[in-house]
């Protein structure tokens, strides 16, 4: 359906799987609201692209109920094994996974919807991906995607030198590795370039000062650290890495302010019926 995808910048370690699960728990209300607005509901057949450890697939499964089905595509064997275990433990019998690169996936359409969260940013040609997905979505079906934007995160944390430097280091690293840190902002034009109608889009930024807000960026940096060690400058700017969580928490506490939990752009568009 698309050119082969590039490497996932944050890796596929057990620690990264746990980070993804924590992140999914925080983002679930945003994704669920977007899916509902896009018309994801009972009885639909949904294709989940870049399933990871299965959180988006399970969220979709809850919305479509027992009369619907979810098919997830994920190329990393360790991630998909974890996803299958979690789906089984959660009691879903209507979710299956295809272990494949997106470009080689054999999935029989049509689907009522194609969905994905934080996946297009890692693909070399997201326009081609959306165009390919639209071919397996029925006329009148919907494509729903969420992608990240670092811009609002940096803007809202400018008063916190260490915290914003940590965000900037993560952003620069994923960009250096070939990802698109502002894919969320680019979603609107990406949908248009793929031949889809102008999408409905919104950006949401959760804010808070609890540990999960303060330290999500440290979690990301831990997954990126093997890649960052090739760039001593960006890693060195943050000081001693093992003390970084304590220093981040101290900075936020001293500021008596809040920090953003990612910038999430949600976009959906229906395939024309003609």
Q: Which of 54-63, 97-106, 151-160 has the lowest mean pLDDT?
A: 97-106
Q: What percent of the chain has pLDDT over 90?
A: 82
Look at residue 137 and give its three-state secondary structure.
strand
pLDDT tens across 70-82, in order? 999 998 999 999 9
Query: What is the pTM for the complete model shown?
Result: 0.92
CA 103 to chain centroid, in Å, comes to: 19
Q: Is the pLDDT of residue 19 over 50?
A: yes
Task: Give the per-residue pLDDT at 4.
Answer: 38
Alpha-carbon gap, residue 174 to 127, rounded angstroms = 20
Q: Which of 10-24, 31-45, 61-75, 183-197 has the lowest mean pLDDT?
A: 10-24
CATH of domain 14-268: 3.40.50.150
Q: Is the pLDDT of residue 12 over 60?
A: yes
Task: Give the per-residue pLDDT at 59.
Answer: 98
Closest CA to 262 of 173, 161, 172, 146: 146
Confidence band, pLDDT 50/70/90 cuts, at residue 125: very high
**Residue 71 CB partners (closer than 8 Å, separation 6+):** 45, 46, 47, 48, 95, 96, 97, 98, 107, 111
Confidence band, pLDDT 50/70/90 cuts, at residue 3: very low
Task: Give the per-residue pLDDT at 234.
Answer: 64
Q: Is the pLDDT of residue 151 over 90?
A: yes
17, 82 Cβ separation under 8 angstroms: yes
**Residue 243 CB partners (closer than 8 Å, separation 6+):** none
Mean pLDDT of 80-106: 89
Q: Which residue has the higher pLDDT, 4 or 51?
A: 51
Round the average pLDDT of the chain to a whole number and report it.
Answer: 91
- What does R_g of the chain's alpha carbons equal in angstroms? 19
Q: Residue 67: is it exposed, middle or buried by C-beta count within 10 angstroms (0-12/13-18/19+)?
A: exposed
pLDDT tens across 218-266, in order? 999 999 988 887 665 567 788 999 999 999 999 999 999 999 999 999 9
pLDDT tens across 177-225, in order? 899 999 999 999 999 999 999 999 999 999 999 999 999 999 999 999 8
Task: Give the per-residue pLDDT at 233.
Answer: 56
Task: Give the per-residue pLDDT at 232.
Answer: 54
Q: Which residue has the higher pLDDT, 100 or 210?
A: 210
How do 200-208 and 259-270 pair as beta strands?
antiparallel
Whole-Å CA distances, 74 to 8, 21, 56, 104, 125: 11, 16, 12, 11, 17
Domain boundaries along the sequence of the chain? 14-268
Q: Which residue has the higher pLDDT, 107 or 96?
A: 96
Q: Is the pLDDT of residue 111 over 80?
A: yes
């Amino acid at each position: 359906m698309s050119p082969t995808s590039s490497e996932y910048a944050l890796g596929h370690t057990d620690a990264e799987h746990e980070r993804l699960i924590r992140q999914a728990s925080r983002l679930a209300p945003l994704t669920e609201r977007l899916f509902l607005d896009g018309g994801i509901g009972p009885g639909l057949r949904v294709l989940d692209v870049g399933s990871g450890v299965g959180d988006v697939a399970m969220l979709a499964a809850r919305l479509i109920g027992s009369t619907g089905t979810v098919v997830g595509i994920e190329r990393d064997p360790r991630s998909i094994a974890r996803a299958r275990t979690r789906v089984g433990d959660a009691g879903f019998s209507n979710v299956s996974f295809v272990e494949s690169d997106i470009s080689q996936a054999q999935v029989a359409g049509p689907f009522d919807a194609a969905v994905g969260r934080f996946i297009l940013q890692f693909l070399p040609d997201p326009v081609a991906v959306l165009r390919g997905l639209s071919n397996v979505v029925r006329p009148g079906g919907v494509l729903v995607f969420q992608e990240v934007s670092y811009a609002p995160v940096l803007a809202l944390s400018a008063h916190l030198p260490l915290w914003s430097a940590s965000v900037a280091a993560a952003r620069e690293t994923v960009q250096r590795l070939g990802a698109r840190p502002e894919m969320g902002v680019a979603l609107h034009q990406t949908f248009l370039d793929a031949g889809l109608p102008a999408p409905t889009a919104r950006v949401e930024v959760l804010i808070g000062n609890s540990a999960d807000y303060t330290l999500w960026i440290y979690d990301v940096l831990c997954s990126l650290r093997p890649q960052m060690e090739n760039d001593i400058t960006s890693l060195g700017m943050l000081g001693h890495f093992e003390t970084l969580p304590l220093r981040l928490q101290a900075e936020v506490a001293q500021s008596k302010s809040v920090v953003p939990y990612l910038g999430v752009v949600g976009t959906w568009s229906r395939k024309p019926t003609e």
